[in-house]
Every structure is written in structure tokens, then in C-alpha cells.
Amino acid sequence: MIALVVNPIAGVGGPAGLAGSDGAAVQERAEALGSRRRAAERARLALETVAARSAAGASRPVVITAAGAMGEDVVRAAGLEPRVVFRASSRDGAGETTAADTTAAARALVDAGASLVLFAGGDGTARDVAAGLGTDAAALGIPAGVKMYSPVFAVSPRAAGALAAAWVAASEAGRSLPVQEREVLDVDEAQLRVARVEPRLYATMPVPYLAGRTQARKSATPASEHAAVVAAARGAVRSLRPGVRYLLGPGGTMAEVARELGVAKTPLGVDVVLDGAVVRAAASESELLDEIAAGPARAVVSVIGGQGFLLGRGNQQLSARVLRALGPDPLVAVAPEQKLIDLGGRPLLVDTGDAAVDARLAGFVRVITSAATTSIYPVTAPDAEASDPEGEGHAP
């Protein structure tokens, strides 16, 4: 069963040049500037594609959704039948909805049996959906927000609809589409408005894929894109040595490393692995320092987001103190080659908050990109880049 949740106010700040739509003040200002709400329109485009694809078949899919503007209206407008399982508190979706409403709606949709949750919005909406998604359902973004750094959005509303239709068709045939664990990133809009872009990793969610339907295709096929992540993870696992504590950082690639190791991984935490077993999950900075004191240790990190941060975004537990304690060769860096390519020639970044530690890490880092394959890639600290503020280069 597919489900839909719409963040009605998503994207409202974009046309007004407000770098996002978070916060009531921004929303009011955007409305005052004459912004149109486009989330409903884009969600309708997606669902119309689902309707068109299923028109030829026997049954039109019922779409599990939230009342009013949070989905029901769009489902009807697209000519499909809604099954309303959630109402935004006291408003029936008629007034302004909040982030908590989106999270609660996502949870209700999954509880009602949704296997794929379509959501219309941007990175903020993705964050809220991820918080309510649980572990059993997949999700797919209908691009309608201002910020879309997270690789969880289809290339267009129609592409999202085509994927959803394929999901329905596969379910009816007793199959399922492949999914890939993708990162939910968001930037603090207040900082973005003062030209400081620091996307952080908030969660991961399983996203279905089909040739050419999720983002611009860079690999030969989506399957080979996934295979590249698996290969990088295998390369990393192959390099691990017995008797060494490995501090596994967060992120999609690290989740794959954990899968290859056969250990459970907290999506956003730093987990300590010794000889193939987790000895400390979601460790704090001081817990990490305790582990490092117990024997040889290294941090295993991946590239977070489009900015290319190895350290300092989403893995702040790996602090300057931790890195100092790790000794002269503190990092095992892992990333599929595509992540380096996507940097478009920009260096990897480290920002531990300690200039001396950052300076020591700067230079070149050896990044494991596949089994028996590494890249030597430049690393700098953003402070060292002060003369070249990164205003332009943040590809979603």
C-alpha cells in the first residue's frame, strides 16, 4: 500500500528567496511576499502519474493519507481514493500544520499498513517523516521544498509518481522494488540565511529506486550505484585488523560497513567495534575516550553530505580530543568513488573545532573506495579556506 503526506507549507520560502520555509515568521513573511504554495500541486502531479499508470490495469490503488491539505485533498484531486488515517491536531489540516504533525502522520500511515510513504516537501519534511517512519516502510520524496540536499527525492514529481506506480505494480505481483538506505540531511536555515551552509546528517531512510528515476543517474545503473557503496564497505571491512577498536561513524556508507561486518549500527551514533562485535553503541565522547584508552583504535568515517565533511558534521562525538587520543593515524576514510567525484574537485573537509588537530589532518587522505582500491584525496579545514568562502558550491 502506498501512502501520501503533504507538508502544505513546504517550498513557500523558496520563491521569496528566504532559503527555506522553517518557522512561522518566515512563512508569514513569504506569504506577505506573495509566495504560492506548491507542495499540493507537485504532489498532485505525482499522484496523477500513479492514476494514469494504474488506469490501464484492474484496480486503482487506495492511497493511505492524512486529512485535508496534508494529503486527502491531493489524492482526490488526482482522481484516486483516499483512506484517511490521521488528522492534524484540532485543525483538520485546514490551518497551519507543524513538523510534529508530519511526524505523527508518517507514523499513522505506517501503522495503517503503508509500505511506501510518499512525502511532498523538502529536507525538513524528510527529517520529520524519517522521525515517524519506523523500520518497516520505505519512503520517497516528491520534490517540493526549497532545500533538497538529501538524496531521498525523485528527480521530478512525475518521476516520483512513476516509481510509486512501479511499487504498486510490484506489490501486486508479489515482488518488491529494491531499496537503498539514503541519508536525510538538513541545514540550519537560520545559518543558511547568513550564508553559512552546514548540512547535518539527521537520519537514514530506505528509498526505492528504478533506472533513471531517483536523481540524475551518475552510475551505469542504480544497482551499480548501490553496488559501489557495498564495494566501498567491503573494502573498508577488508582493511580492519584484529585487536583494534574501530569507532564507526554515522551515515549510509557506514551502515553498509556495519552490514558487511554483521553488526547492528545506530544510524546517527558512533559505535565501537572490536573483532567483529559491537562493544559500545552510540558512544559519547567520554565513552569513546575510555575505549581508546583500552587499546589501539581508529575512527572509521565517511563523507557526510555534498559538502565533503569527513569530520565535524553529524559525527561531532569524534571530537578533537578523541582524534588526539587516536594517535598519529586516526582515520580510516571510506566512500564510494562517486562521493569524491560529486565534490567537483573541491577538497574533503575536517572541522573538529581545534585548529591544531585540523591542521594535522589536512593534506591528503587515503579514502577506501572499493575492495583493494583507494584514492588519495586532498583534505583541508574550512578555516584554512577562509579566503575562499564556499558560497556557491553546495550541490544537492
Partner 1 sequence: MSLPLAPKPAIRRFHQASWDEPVIFELSTPGERGVFVTPIEPGVRDAVGDVVAALPAGLRRATPPALPELGQMRVLKHYLRLSQENLGADLNVDIGQGTCTMKYSPKINDQLIGTPQLTAMHPLQDPADAQGVLEIVWSLERMLAEISGMDQVSLHTQGGSAAIWANIAMIRAYHEANGEGEQRREVITTIFSHPSNAAAAKAAGYEVITIFPDAEGYPDLAALKAALSPRTAAIMVTNPEDTGIYNPAIKQWVDAAHEVGALAAYDQANANGILGITRARDAGFDVCHFNLHKTFSTPHACGGPGAGANAVSAALAPFLPGPRVVREVAADGAVRFDLRDTDARSIGSVAPFHGVIPNIVRAYSWIMALGAEGLLAAAEIAVLNNNYLLAKVLEIPGASAPYAAGRRRIEQVRYSWQELFEDTGISSEEIGIRMTDFGMHYWTSHHPYVVPQPFTLEPTESYSKAEIDEYVAVLAEVAREARETPEVVRTAPHNQTVHHTHHDDLDDPERWAITWRAYQRKYFGAGTPASAAEPAETAA
| Residue 228 in contact with partner 1, rule: CB under 8 A | yes
Q: Of 65-73, 199-207, 261-269, 363-371, which part binds partner 1 (CB under 8 A)?
A: 363-371
| Residue 216 in contact with partner 1, rule: CB under 8 A | yes
Q: Give SS3 for 288.
A: helix
Residue type, 336: P
Minimum distance from residue 181 beta carbon to partner 1 (Å): 18
Give the C-alpha distances (Å, rounded to integers) separating 72 from 3, 43, 103, 246, 252.
10, 11, 17, 48, 33
Task: Report the DSSP pairing between strands 348-350 and 309-311.
Answer: parallel
| Residue 337 in contact with partner 1, rule: CB under 8 A | yes
Minimum distance from residue 220 beta carbon to partner 1 (Å): 4
Q: How many residues bind partner 1 (CB under 8 A)?
A: 32
Which residues have a Cβ under 8 Å from the Cβ of 352 and sit 6 or more positions away? Answer: 311, 312, 318, 319, 320, 323, 358, 361
Binding residue for partner 1, selected from 372, 383, 385, 389, defined by CB under 8 A: 372
Minimum distance from residue 103 beta carbon to partner 1 (Å): 32
Task: Report the DSSP pairing between strands 245-248 and 271-274.
Answer: antiparallel
Minimum distance from residue 58 beta carbon to partner 1 (Å): 23
Cell triple for 375 = 584514492
Q: Of 67-75, 123-131, 196-204, 222-230, which part binds partner 1 (CB under 8 A)?
A: 222-230
User: Toward partner 1, which CB reaches closer, 89 or 373?
Assistant: 373
What spatial distance separates the first Cα and last Cα of the chain, rounded to whole Å?
A: 29
Q: Of 45-53, 209-217, 267-275, 352-360, which part binds partner 1 (CB under 8 A)?
A: 209-217
Question: Which residues make beta-bridge pairs with 332?
Answer: 300
| Residue 221 in contact with partner 1, rule: CB under 8 A | yes
Binding positions for partner 1, 76-105, rule CB under 8 A: none
Binding residue for partner 1, selected from 112, 169, 210, 289, defined by CB under 8 A: 210
**For the chain, where are the alpha helices, taking DSSP H only?**
24-32, 39-55, 72-77, 99-111, 123-133, 157-172, 189-193, 222-239, 252-261, 285-293, 320-326, 337-341, 355-361
User: Toward partner 1, which CB reaches closer, 276 or 363?
Assistant: 363
Q: Of 28-36, 53-61, 74-82, 210-218, which part binds partner 1 (CB under 8 A)?
A: 210-218
Using an 8 Å Cβ cutoff, are 13 and 27 in contact? yes
Minimum distance from residue 206 beta carbon to partner 1 (Å): 18
| Residue 266 in contact with partner 1, rule: CB under 8 A | no
Binding residue for partner 1, selected from 194, 293, 376, 386, defined by CB under 8 A: 376
| Residue 373 in contact with partner 1, rule: CB under 8 A | yes
Q: Of 95-103, 186-194, 353-361, 367-375, which part binds partner 1 (CB under 8 A)?
A: 367-375
| Residue 222 in contact with partner 1, rule: CB under 8 A | yes
| 211-216: Cβ within 8 A, 24+ apart | 212/155, 213/154, 213/155, 213/159, 213/160, 213/162, 213/163, 213/166, 214/140, 214/151, 214/153, 214/154, 214/155, 214/159, 214/163, 215/151, 215/153, 215/154, 215/155, 216/155
Binding residue for partner 1, selected from 217, 259, 321, 324, defined by CB under 8 A: 217
Which residues have a Cβ under 8 Å from the Cβ of 168 and sit 6 or more positions away? Answer: 2, 50, 53, 54, 61
The C-alpha atoms of residue 274 and residue 247 are separated, in whole angstroms, by 9
Using an 8 Å Cβ cutoff, are 268 and 250 in contact? yes
User: Toward partner 1, which CB reaches closer, 60 or 366?
Assistant: 366
Minimum distance from residue 121 beta carbon to partner 1 (Å): 21
Q: Of 6-14, 54-62, 352-360, 368-376, which part binds partner 1 (CB under 8 A)?
A: 368-376
Binding positions for partner 1, 132-161, rule CB under 8 A: 155-156
The C-alpha atoms of residue 217 and residue 225 are separated, in whole angstroms, by 9
Minimum distance from residue 371 beta carbon to partner 1 (Å): 8
Q: Which residues bind partner 1 (CB under 8 A)?
A: 155-156, 210-212, 216-224, 228, 337-338, 340-341, 344-345, 363-364, 366, 369, 372-378
